[in-house]
Amino acid sequence: MFSNKKILVIGSNGQIGTVLTNKLGEKFGFENVVGTDLKTPKISTKFIFEACSVLDKEKLLNIITKYNITDVYLLAAYLSAKGEQNISKAWDLNINGLLHILNFAKDKKIQKIFWPSSIAVFGPTTPKDNVDQYDVAEPTTIYGVSKLAGENLCNYYHYKFGIDVRSIRYPGLIGWESMPGGGTTDYAVDIFHKAFKNKKFTCFLSQNRILPMMYMNDAIKATIGIMEAPTDNIKIRTSYNLSSLHFNPKQLAQEIKKHFKDFKITYQPDERDDLAKSWPQSINDFHARNDWGWEPNFNLSQMVNDIILNLRNRYKNN
Ligand code: NAD
Ligand code: SER
């Protein structure tokens, strides 16, 4: 397929990368998409794959040059729960990985960057509901601290060097195609697999812990949507608030029970519940809707139906 884009996805084996890299391949041609991650994926990919750490600047530049990369989606990061276990490594990966890519753009090696932030940039001093784009952001996790610093790096490189870097603050993401990699919202993926396997699930968040969440299909739509939007429409160069769903584990379990009548959930909140407690419950994404036309497709029951339909096929065939 002809495309004037050559895309590099860094962190292509992860929860989002697994889905995004394939969607980009379908849209722009698999021969125009390169995935990189620390290790070669277990299942062979339709896109080109090169094992490389984002912290290995020289090797990364060789890949960028070899494939004439124009657009980079930088997904490699330590998420919230994993980050608390490895503060220095989380800072190193989340900040230095981003700096390498921003500097490649400054040196005209690449043209456009997508880098995701998170609702974790907000903290306990932020209002809980309908959080505005510009509400106070004083995060109390190293993940949130690194994401907030990253947002400001993106903004700085845009205004100082004209770098076209685009970002959204993902809520907790839920999908059926891939497993999450060490976040606080991982329960909302695991719960589906436990419902299929043994009809019971122990949740590490409190039953009433409401968080902003989103179906993976909508997250991918937003990601490609912001990258394809005309440059003039991108008015925020830190990172856009993005919203679709908010619910607590009890509400998700109730929705799942409509499909598995004998499904049982119990609650054993651990330290991840404290991380979640510091975050907002719902987000106002007026600017994303207004500037580049963001609109989600899935409500809670539509998402649950779609995930269960797809997992039913997967478990039947395995
Ligand atoms: P993930 O942990 O599932 O995947 C990250 C991938 O990066 C993994 O495959 C890992 O092997 C790879 N990686 C780690 N270190 C690397 C390195 N040095 N070089 C190259 N690759 C490396 O994460 P995800 O959920 O797919 O998240 C992707 C991005 O989206 C992250 O920036 C994350 O902060 C952000 N985000 C995710 C969520 C969510 O709910 N999943 C929510 C908000 C923001
Ligand atoms: N889903 C992410 C996490 O839990 C939020 O950015 O870390």
Mean pLDDT, residues 205-213: 98
Find the helix or strand (DSSP H, E) in which 313 lies. Answer: helix 300-317
Q: Under DSSP, is residue 209 helix (H, G, I), strand (E, B) or coil? A: coil
Q: Is 68 left (phi over 0), alpha (psi -120 to 50) or beta?
A: left
Distance (Å) from CA 21 to ligand 1 centroid: 13
Query: Does position 235 have pLDDT exceeding 90, yes or no?
Result: yes
Does ligand 2 come within 6 angstroms of the Cβ of 118? yes
The per-residue pLDDT for 199 is: 86
CB-CB contact of 284 with 243 (8 Å):
yes
Mean pLDDT, residues 78-106: 98
Angstrom distance (rounded) from CA 234 to CA 59: 31
The reply to whether 143 belongs to the active site is yes
| Beta-ladder partners of 73 | 9, 114
Does ligand 2 come within 6 angstroms of the Cβ of 304? no
Across the chain, mean pLDDT equals: 97
Distance (Å) from CA 64 to ligand 2 centroid: 28
pLDDT-based confidence at residue 274 (cuts at 50, 70, 90): very high
Mean pLDDT, residues 229-236: 98
The per-residue pLDDT for 11 is: 98
Task: Return the residue matching tokens 């610093």.
Answer: 149
Does ligand 1 come within 6 angstroms of the Cβ of 76? yes
pLDDT-based confidence at residue 1 (cuts at 50, 70, 90): confident
Ligand nearest to C-alpha 15? 1
**Ligand 1 atom nearest 174 alpha carbon:** 40
CB-CB contact of 278 with 128 (8 Å):
no
Distance (Å) from CA 305 to ligand 1 centroid: 26
Does ligand 1 come within 6 angstroms of the Cβ of 212? no
Query: Does position 317 have pLDDT exceeding 80, yes or no?
Result: no
Task: Return the residue matching tokens 């980009």.
Answer: 24
Angstrom distance (rounded) from CA 241 to CA 92: 25
Residue 167 has a CB neighbour count (10 Å cut-off) of 24
Mean pLDDT, residues 213-237: 98
Percent of the chain with pLDDT over 70: 100
Mean pLDDT, residues 226-240: 98
The per-residue pLDDT for 125 is: 98
Query: Does position 84 have pLDDT exceeding 90, yes or no?
Result: yes
**From 143, 170, 187, 215, active-site residue:** 143
The per-residue pLDDT for 316 is: 87
**In angstroms, how far is CA 75 from the centroid of its own chain?**
7
Sort 206 into a burial class: Cβ within 10 Å, 0-12 / 13-18 / 19+: middle
Angstrom distance (rounded) from CA 188 to CA 176: 10
Distance (Å) from CA 301 to ligand 1 centroid: 27
| Beta-ladder partners of 247 | 211
Does ligand 2 come within 6 angstroms of the Cβ of 172? yes
The per-residue pLDDT for 2 is: 87
Does ligand 2 come within 6 angstroms of the Cβ of 15? no
The per-residue pLDDT for 50 is: 98
CB-CB contact of 111 with 168 (8 Å):
no
Query: Does position 311 have pLDDT exceeding 80, yes or no?
Result: yes
Nearest protein CA to atom 2 of ligand 1, as residue: 181
Domains of the chain: 7-172+214-241 (3.40.50.720), 175-212+246-317 (3.90.25.10)
